[in-house]
Structure 1
């Protein structure tokens, strides 16, 4: 199958690694580092592949990098979004400003498997919580969606008013006045709630273009 333009673009981003070992995960890295792994067959061998993303970005360039480790040694790295070739397919890595957006192994036949997060990471702890307390997990997930929907609605109302005042638009359809004028404190609280909802969804690697599209990569 001929590679698409986007696949060729992502392939050019991949640089060889220097073989450095993967550092162990520390509890204080929960919100700034994601580590996810998968075991794949390479011929007759089982090989462990691990993806590491440091969400703060490179100290010099500020770019967010995805690094692929093969059996614990750095095999390749790429700016995100990243697409790493591995035995039997490739691994896709995408992030948003809230955290992880996607980290999946895509086999040559099109089937997909999400990589498993380190149990000490934010994603790993959220997965364990969902497994041990499914009802509470579902409730938290629903609240996250609600907070994001409120945030999207408020943004649309705030954007619609100044746009409607542009002369050609105002002359055609008239101006729009937002029915909601919330106090600053409530606006800040709702904004923080929406940010918390986005982080919660990122820990589960949930993404929707309307809800979570705040500067995804």
Structure 2
């Protein structure tokens, strides 16, 4: 029920495009822009390239993050993520997190999912190239990212809960909580930076977990 409601809401976000041309990926955009592609066979018997362009820092006009869909390089539709763009044979689903993309998949009418291919010039494309060329190194980096986030979760969350429990209204109604861990300021900063790097690395692979990657505090739509 809730999944269907979210799907309908994502579909309602979609607005028609204005036909402008897709800009090529620039070398200075690796962490401010995500660009993904997929080739789909359409009713005319030809394959057409569908591209999703997301400016992660928001549009220059109003700061809103939007996903733009292009067909063969021509602007076809736009929506605020999470969004579901209807395309031949299914839909392209796009969602973001605080660290980048968390979803960029084609979901066929048969329910089969395919992740879109990152543009080679993008940060996601460079990360995918590392995975192809050095799979063992890539897997090791991925495991380290998960380990860092687990450590940050175990050590950081109790400290946050303790600080929140000290707020007078919370303490009066729920009582106070004492964290079993008390790290120095420098250690907490290092833990935070490590978690940011780890979540960013996972976002480059479109990996996301609500607990590990910040959804617990950021909220999910």
TM exceeding 0.5: yes
Alpha-carbon distance, 1:6 to partner: 2.3
Distance 2:193 2:5 in 1: 38
RMSD over equivalenced CA pairs, Å: 1.7
Distance 2:184 2:6 in 1: 45
Higher RCO structure (Cα 8 Å, ≥6 apart): 1
Q: Specify the alignment match of 2:174 in structure 1.
A: 169
Alpha-carbon distance, 1:5 to partner: 2.7
Q: Superposition pairs for residues 40-119 of structure 1, below 5 Å? A: 40-43=40-43, 44-119=45-120
Distance 1:188 1:72 in 2: 43
- With the length of structure 2 as denominator, give the TM-score of the two structures: 0.90
Distance 1:33 1:163 in 2: 35
Number of equivalences: 211
Q: Which runs of 5+ in 1 are unaligned?
A: none
Alpha-carbon distance, 1:112 to partner: 0.6
Alpha-carbon distance, 1:182 to partner: 1.5
Distance 1:143 1:45 in 2: 43
Alpha-carbon distance, 1:178 to partner: 2.0
Q: Superposition pairs for residues 87-166 of structure 1, below 5 Å? A: 87-162=88-163, 166=171
Q: Specify the alignment match of 2:37 in structure 1.
A: 37
Instruction: After superposition, give the CA deviation of every residue in 1:82-101 in whole Å (9 maximum; x if it has no partner).
Output: 11000000000001010010
Alpha-carbon distance, 1:168 to partner: 4.0
Instruction: After superposition, give the CA deviation of every residue in 1:109-150 in whole Å (9 maximum; x if it has no partner).
Output: 100100000011111100110111111111111111111112
Instruction: After superposition, give the CA deviation of every residue in 1:174-212 in whole Å (9 maximum; x if it has no partner).
Output: x53223221111111111000000000000000111101
Q: SS at 1:29's partner residue?
A: coil
Distance 2:100 2:74 in 1: 24
Q: SS at 1:84's partner residue?
A: strand
Alpha-carbon distance, 1:32 to partner: 0.6
Distance 1:169 1:76 in 2: 48
